Amino acid sequence: MNAPDRRLQFRSGQPLPGLWSKLVAAPFHRVLDRIDAGLKQGAIEAWLPDGSYRILGGRAPGPVAEVELKRWRALVRLGRNGSVGWYEAWADGDWSSPDPVTLFDLFMRNGRSLGRIARAKGVARLAKRLRHWLRDNSRSRARRNIASHYDLGNDFYAAWLDETMTYSSALFQEPIRPDEELAYAQLNKVRALLDRLQLKPDSHLLEIGCGWGTLADIAADEYGAAVTALTLSTEQQAHALALNRCNVAAGRVRIELMDYREVGGCFDAVASVEMVEAVGQRWWPTYLATIARVLRPGGRAALQYIAIDDELFEAYAASADFIQRYVFPGGMLVSERRFRALAEQAGLAWTDEHRFGLHYAETLRRWRERFDRAVAEAQLPPGFDRRFVDLWRYYLMYCEGGFRGGGIWVSQVTLVKEEVE
C-alpha cells in the first residue's frame, strides 16, 4: 500500500472553512489523529463535516473503509458510549458508509492497537455496566432475556433463516464457495458436533439450548439417540415439538421448557450450540458444573461457542457493547482461556478444539442477504417498524465485520468427563 497523503484535503467546489469552522473542527481532528495512530492495518477514507477529506491508517495492507461523517457528534457519541454510541449515531444519520462491514472488520482487526478509543468511558461505562448487571442471567431473569430475542416470533426468523431454522454458525466446505447451500452447511455443522459425542443407539443425549429443534431431530433419526432438549423460549419449544412430533410421540425426544440449572438425571452425552453466550460470565462455573454433574464418567460434551480475543476481553467485559444493549440482554462472549480453565476445574478435559470464524462471517453475509430480500418482498410479519429493521441489519453487519476482523471467532470443542478410578 502506498503511503497515504495525510494532508487535509477539501472537496472540489466547496469554500475553504473559515476560522470558526476550523476552531470547531480542531478537537475532532485530534480524535481522528488517535484513530489514525491506532490503525496498524488497513485504512479509513473519511469525508468530514467541515468539507475535508482524510485518510486514516494506510501503513500496512488491510481493509479500506469509506465513511462520511455528517455531524461531528458521531465522534462525541463514539468517545462517550463506544459501540452503543456509534450505532446510535448511525441510526440518527450522523455517519454513513457504503459498506459498514468493512469498517467493523477494520476496527476489530485493529482492536488491540486502538485500545479504548471506541470503548465507553467514565460515567457512561459505569451506567452501561450497571444496566448489564441488572440483566444478569439469574433463574428469574434468564427467561425474560431469552424471550426478548428468541420470542420475536417463529415467523420472523423463518422469513430469513434457511429451512433448517438454525441460528448459529454454519460449517462450510473449504475453501468456502458461494454455491454451497446454507442449509447443507448448517446440517454439516450439526453432524460435525454430534460426531464428537460417539453416540450409540439408545445413548441418552442432553441438549442445552435446543433452538428450533434441528439437532434433536438429527440425533434421534440418524444417530438413534434418545434426546432431552432444553429451551427457555416458548416460541422455539412450539416449533421444536412440531418438528420432532414423531419422535416425541415415540418417547425418543423430549423438548422441555427448562433452565439448564434445573436439569437432573445422568446422560451419556451433552450438546450445546452457541448457548454459553447467553449464560453470562458469572454463570460460567455453574454451566460447566451442570455439564459435569449430569454426564456419566467418561461421557462427552460437544460445545459450539463464540469467543473474543483474551487481550480484548477485560475492556469488553468492563462495559456493555451495542449487542448487549440492543440485541442480546445478558449476553457475554467467551474468554477462551478463562472458560477452559473453569472447564478443567470442573473435571472436564478440553480436547479437539476447531476454530472456523470466517465460516460465521459467511453465514452472517448469507443471513443479511436473505434478511434484505425478506424486507424488500414484505415477508416479515407485521409489527416490525423501519427502526427495528435497520437495527437488525446493523447487527448482522456488525457481527460479520467482527468475525472477518478475527478478534472474535466460533469454535467447536469436546469436553470429556474424567473416569472414576
Give catalytic residues, as residue numbers.
399
Cell numbers describing residue 287: 454451566
Phi, psi of 264 (to 5 degrees): -125, -175
Going by C-alpha positions, the residue among 285, 409, 302, 279 that lies closest to residue 349 is 302
Positive or negative: CA dihedral 38, 44, 49, 52? positive
Cell numbers describing residue 281: 460470565
Bridge-based pairing of strands 64-69 and 226-231 is unpaired
Cβ atoms within 10 A of the Cβ of 26, count? 10
Cell numbers describing residue 301: 460434551
DSSP of 360-379:
HHHHHHHHHHHHHHHHHTT-
CA 12 – CA 6 distance, rounded (Å) = 17
* Alpha helix ranges (H) inside 306-405: 310-317, 322-326, 336-345, 357-376, 386-405
Q: What share of the chain is helix, strand, coil (3-state, %, to 5)?
A: 50, 20, 35
Going by C-alpha positions, the residue among 330, 331, 351, 332 that lies closest to residue 340 is 351
Provide the edge-to-edge strand list for the sheet that holds 9-10: 9-10, 52-57, 43-47, 64-69, 95-96
Residue 223 per-residue DSSP state: H
CA 91 – CA 96 distance, rounded (Å) = 9
